[in-house]
Amino acid sequence: MKRILSALRSLAVLTAVAPAAFGAFAQAPQPPEIAARTYLLVDVTANQVLAAKDIDAPVEQASLTKLMTGYLVFDALRAKKISLEQKLPVSVRAWKMPGSRMFIDPKMQVPVEDLIKGMIVQSGNDATMALAEGVGGTAENFVKLMNDQAQALGMKGTSYKNPEGLTEPGHTTTARDLSVLAMRLMKDFPEYMHYYSTKQYSYPGTPASNGSNRNSLLFRDPTVDGLKTGHTAAAGYCLVATSKREFPGVGQRRLLSIVLGAASENARANESQKLLNWGYTAFEAVKLFEAGKPVATPAVWKGTENTLKIGREEAIVVAVPSGSAGKITTQIARPDPLVAPFTKGQSVGHLKVMLGEQALAEVPLIALEGVDQAGILGRAWDAIRLWIK
């Protein structure tokens, strides 16, 4: 049983970013032509990939690197290692950073919150270095933290050499890894996501003309609320964009697009917008089960309760090609028999969603409530019943 549960946990990680099975359908929606080296479109709400091209190819990271820097800064804030109001010094190294800048200098003591805005809105390499030194002590130690965190998140194709994203040998990632990082960033630190939708920011005493967010989709599409742009000569023009739109019967539906290696600033925005619009129209979201509601209540043996409620703490939503919602069927795969004890949140199997004869998605199921082990007599009686069964 431990091997089964371990396999299911591994499957849960893989299905979050594995290409969906839509390619097996004759009626599968075909993505539009995207002028980029690699791209990826994920339905975050349904946890499904809708379109992908070369998502495991190593690519230059450029300022998309700052997504990981932000992750570690937010983690330090939550752990109270730093505070938003705390002022950090600006080292000569930070001041002299080339590329996009916040325009801070060693005479300044800059609050962490302003440095965060400088890093995200202005894509300031100087602000990023100041944050890295403030959290890690040194940039080199911070880079070690970045690589450790990447490994912890399962980003197997990523290697960090600096906190800001300037071109350096070996400083690479993949579209798949960026999707893992972006989704974990949104899930783990929702309280800080508003920084990524900030359209304008400039620190007092620095050029106001430098204050517009590089993500032009924020100004074009009111449903777009993040996340980060990147550009170097080696990387081309890159954009990790997120959008949330309301749909009847489902509520908020979020998509994540990753476009890497576009030809221009305008092209990365256009191609990202094209992907997002296509994802919302070519696929419809179907809510199968409400958050916290049991998908099934199978029998439990040797427990203080006779049944176990299994489901998900969040709503179970799947994305299907538009017009095919009526063809969905579901199957539950779980260990049998279920023998107590079970703790709340324990993996108990998965829900397999089928569209016709093809597997569409596999959703891990957990115990919604705990079930303690029964007493000696109860366990003995159930042991006899199981033997007879």
User: Which amino acid would we find at residue 284?
Assistant: E
Task: Determine the distance from the C-alpha atom of residue 235 to the mean position of all C-alpha atoms in its chain, rounded to a whole number.
Answer: 22
- Model pTM? 0.88
Name the token pair of 20: 């969906």
**What whole-number distance in Å separates Cα of residue 102 and Cα of residue 89?**
14
Are 112 and 90 within 8 A, CB to CB?
A: no
pLDDT digits (tens, 9 = 90+) for 193-226: 999 999 999 999 888 888 999 999 999 999 999 9
Q: What is the mean pLDDT of residues 77-98?
A: 97
Which pLDDT belongs to residue 249? 85
Q: What is the mean pLDDT of residues 316-342?
A: 90
pLDDT digits (tens, 9 = 90+) for 24-80: 333 578 999 999 999 999 999 999 999 999 999 999 999 999 999 999 999 999 999
Name the token pair of 101: 């800048």
CA-based angle 133:241:177, to the nearest 5? 65
Name the token pair of 286: 């179907």
Q: How confident is the model at residue 361 (pLDDT cuts 50, 70, 90)?
A: confident
Q: Lowest-pLDDT range, 104-108, 172-176, 214-218, 356-360?
A: 356-360
SS (H, E, C) the chain: CHHHHHHHHHHHHHHCCCECHHHHCCCCCCCCCCCCCEEEEEECCCCEEEEEECCCCCEECHHHHHHHHHHHHHHHHHCCCCCCCCEEECCHHHHCCCCCCCCCCCCCEEEHHHHHHHHHCCCCHHHHHHHHHHHHCCHHHHHHHHHHHHHHCCCCCCECCCCCCCCCCCCEECHHHHHHHHHHHHHHCHHHHHHHHCCECCCCCCCHHHCECCCCHHHHCCCEEEEEEEEECCCEEEEEEEEEEEECCCEEEEEEEEEEEECCHHHHHHHHHHHHHHHHHHEEEEEEECCCCEEECCEEECECCCECCEECCCCEEEEEECCCHHHEEEEEECCCCEECCECCCCEEEEEEEEECCEEEEEEEEEECCCECECCHHHHHHHHHHHHHC
Q: How confident is the model at residue 297 (pLDDT cuts 50, 70, 90)?
A: very high
Pairwise pLDDT comparison (384 vs 316), residue with the higher score = 316
> For 50, what's the count of Cα atoms within 13 Å in the CB-facing half-sphere?
32
Which pLDDT belongs to residue 375? 75
Tell me whether residue 139 is exposed, middle or buried, using C-beta atoms within 10 angstroms of its C-beta: 0 to 12, 13 to 18, 19 or more. middle
User: Which amino acid would we find at residue 307?
Assistant: T
Known catalytic residues?
A: 63, 66, 123
Separation in Å, CA 366 to CA 8, 202, 301: 11, 46, 17
Which pLDDT belongs to residue 358? 83
